[in-house]
Structure 1
Amino acid sequence: MTTPNLILIAIDLVAALVLAFGLYYPRHRRRDLVVAFIGVNVGVLAVTSVLGSAEIAAGLGLGLFGVLSIIRLRSSEISQREVAYYFAALAMGLIGGLSQTSVLLPAGLIALILVALWAVDHPALLAQSRHQVVRLDRAIADEAELRTELAERLGATVTSATVQQLDLVNDSTLVDVRFRVAAPAKRVAGSASRTAAPAAEGRVARAGAAR
């Protein structure tokens, strides 16, 4: 094994740790998926290092992505966000394990994957957008009435509502709803406290003068 390959393996392992412990876990707090991401990355890295070559690289990559798809279908349900982390861990292991004569391009691609996930999964990006599956205790067939009811219940602006189940017998509606919440309350509270502070000081001053 050449020196560039050893360097890439080290870069991939560091990148996998950053992905799992620096990006995913601080934001989503799922320990089981941290184990899965590290395991997928190291496993793909090991297999690619043993079998990888220029002749079989494309077929090996497609095969590994296919295996991950099977695991995705037969495992517990995970979100699309976590699927992205899975594929990032797999892609980094694949890049790090292939035989290379230069370190710059593979290292740059691994760094690009990390930067892309850091950016698109940042809490500040689309922070007001939400997604929930809601069951209402009424069977509502009218879309406009359904949106109004959801907006009142959630206290938010409904952007999309898809009825998954309309139960006219038990009088209930199961809805996949996407909505946008208002600005964080702490900002409003902070501005209110700053507005109230001068008024309170004025009242204290007037009370002192009266005494």
Structure 2
Amino acid sequence: MAQLALFLSDIAAVSLLVFGLYFPRHRRKDLVVAYLGVNVGVLAVASALSSGKTGAGIGLGMALFGVLSIIRLRSTELDQHEVAYYFSALALGLLGGMQTTEVWRSAVLMGLIVAVLFVGDHPRMMRNHRRQVMVLDTALPDHTALVAYLEQTLGARVHSAVVQRVDLVNDTTLVDVRYRCAPGPHAKNANTAAHAEPAAPGGTTPVAVRP
């Protein structure tokens, strides 16, 4: 009976995580399938291993999933928030599959995982902070001049500007910039100041900026 309660708790938690939080916010159908598959797979294997008479199987299984959890899929690169959802789905499966007499503790931990993702990935959490990979149509080897140029172009305060390439021949600068938009008209200007190109791997958006 306790194991059934854990199974139902895991199903409820992962459903809320995937369909209540992740998909409405990020709209990636392929990762919905991945999160559900990881959760159910870990749930099934953890349950099978925990029902054994020896603890060696559990230790081996936990080590196996620890190794699998840090492997990135070669077909696509995951953003950091997607990795967080991936780990959460995995943790929910482990909590639901392990046999325990303290069902309430596992249920509370499941709720804590979902609550942390709800708050940490909320759209209003640090919503004015942005990151973009930008291609500037001018070579700016001087860091002070680069920051001033970016702040003028974006209409925002630049917190970090990491130059990835300065091309003096073609007169371009590739920079990874992190900035904070001011609420109101400045935030709108920061979004429309540059022409956006297709998204680059890792969730950043390369932007071509011309003076």
Distance 1:23 1:107 in 2: 18
Aligned counterpart, 1:20: 18
Aligned counterpart, 1:182: 182
Task: List alignment gaps of at least 5 residues for structure 2.
Answer: 189-211
Offset of 1:65 from its aligned partner? Answer: 2.6
Q: Cα–Cα, structure 1 residues 41 and 177, in superposed 2: closer, same or farther, change >3 Å?
A: same
Q: Does 1:110 align with 2:110?
A: yes
CA contact (8 A) 1:52 1:60 kept: no
Give the greater-gyration-radius structure (CA): 1
Q: Cα–Cα, structure 1 residues 171 and 52, in superposed 2: closer, same or farther, change >3 Å?
A: farther
CA contact (8 A) 1:160 1:178 kept: yes
Deviations 1:26-80 (A, max 9, x none): 111111111111111111111111123682444422321311222x152401210
Amino acid at match of 1:67: L
What is the identity percentage for the equivalent residue pairs of Structure 1 and Structure 2? 49
Q: Cα–Cα, structure 1 residues 118 and 99, in superposed 2: closer, same or farther, change >3 Å?
A: same
Q: TM-score of the superposition, structure 2-length normalised?
A: 0.82
The CA RMSD over aligned residues, in Å, is: 2.0
Q: TM-score of the superposition, structure 1-length normalised?
A: 0.82
CA contact (8 A) 1:128 1:183 kept: yes
Question: What is the number of residues matched between the two proteins?
Answer: 185
Aligned counterpart, 2:134: 134
Distance 1:59 1:138 in 2: 55
Question: Which structure has more helix as a fraction of its residues?
Answer: 1
Distance 1:172 1:103 in 2: 59
Q: Does 1:32 align with 2:33?
A: no
Distance 2:6 2:152 in 1: 54
Moved more, 103-112 or 163-172: 163-172
Deviations 1:118-162 (A, max 9, x none): 011111111110011111111211001111111122121111011
